[in-house]
Amino acid sequence: MNRLSSLLLSGVLALGLTGEVSAQNKKKLLEQKSKIQSEIELANRILKETRANVQTNSGQVEALAQKIDLRERLVATMEREIDLLEGEIEESQKAISEREKILELRKAEYADMIQHAERSRSPDTRLLFLLSAESFAQAYRRMEYMKELSRARKRQIELIETERKALETNKRQLEEQVALKQRLRNQRGKELAALELDRAQSEKALQQLTQKEKELQRQISEKKAQQQKLEKEIQKAIAAEIRKAKAAAERKEIEDHALASGLKKGKDFSAKTSNAQLEKLIAARLKKAETGTVAPTPAKPAEKPASNVMALTPEGKIVAAGFSKNKGALPWPVERGLVVSNFGSHPHPIAKNVVVNNNGIDIATESGIDAKSVYEGEAIVIQVPYGNKAVLIKHGNFFTVYDNLAEVYVKNGDKVKARQAIGKVFTDPADGSTRLHFEVWENDKVQNPVPWLSKK
Range with the poorest average pLDDT among 95-99, 288-292, 311-315, 329-333: 288-292
Q: Is the pLDDT score of 441 beyond 90? A: yes
- Of 245 and 8, the structure prediction assigns the larger pLDDT to 245
Query: Are the C-beta atoms of 422 and 436 separated by less than 8 Å?
Result: no
Residue 381 phi/psi, 5-degree rounding, is -80, 125
Sequence spans of domains, the chain: 3-210, 244-311, 318-452
More confident residue, 291 or 338: 338
User: Is it the case that residue 110 has pLDDT exceeding 90?
Assistant: no
- When pLDDT is averaged across residues 285-292 and rounded to a whole number, the result is 69
pLDDT at 308: 66
CB atoms within 10 A of CB 331: 15
Q: Which of 171, 15, 11 is nearest to 101 (CA)?
A: 11
Q: Read off the pLDDT of residues 344-377 as tens digits, 9 standing for 90 and up.
A: 887 766 656 667 788 999 998 888 999 999 999 9
Is the pLDDT confidence value at 442 over 90?
Answer: yes
d(CA 327, CA 451): 7
Confidence of residue 194 (pLDDT cuts 50, 70, 90): confident
Phi and psi at 349, nearest 5°, equal -60, -20
What is the pLDDT at residue 294?
Answer: 45
Q: What is the phi-psi region of residue 387: left when phi exceeds 0, alpha when psi lies from -120 to 50, beta otherwise? A: left
DSSP 8-state symbol, 298:
P
pLDDT above 90 as % of the chain: 20
Does domain 318-452 fall under CATH 3.20.20.80? My reply is no
Pairing of strands 415-416, 398-408: unpaired
pLDDT at residue 17 in the model? 47
User: Is the pLDDT at 54 greater than 50, yes or no?
Assistant: no
For 39-87, give the secondary structure using H, E and C.
Answer: HHHHHHHHHHHHCCCCCCCHHHHHHHHHHHHHHHHHHHHHHHHHHHHHH
Does position 279 have pLDDT exceeding 70, yes or no?
A: yes
- Any idea which of 18-27, 172-181, 398-407 has the lowest mean pLDDT? 18-27
Mean pLDDT of the chain: 77
pLDDT of residue 149: 64
In this predicted structure, which of 103-107, 275-279, 437-441 has the lowest mean pLDDT? 103-107
Say what the pLDDT of residue 29 is. Answer: 72
pLDDT, mean of residues 273-291? 77
Q: Does residue 115 sit in helix, strand or coil?
A: helix
Size (the chain), residues:
456
How many beta carbons lie within 10 A of that of residue 288, not counting itself? Answer: 12
Q: pLDDT at position 25, please?
A: 73
Distance in angstroms (rounded) separating the CA atoms of residues 307 and 318: 21
Express each pLDDT in 252-277 by its tens digit: 888 788 788 888 888 778 888 887 88
Query: Is residue 2 classed as helix, strand or coil in its secondary structure?
Result: coil
Residue 431 pLDDT more than 70?
yes
Q: What is the pLDDT of residue 94?
A: 80
Q: Roughly what angle, to the nearest 10 degrees, separates helices 213-260 and 136-210? A: 110
List of residues 6+ apart from 35 with CB closer than 8 A: 456
**pLDDT value at position 313?**
82
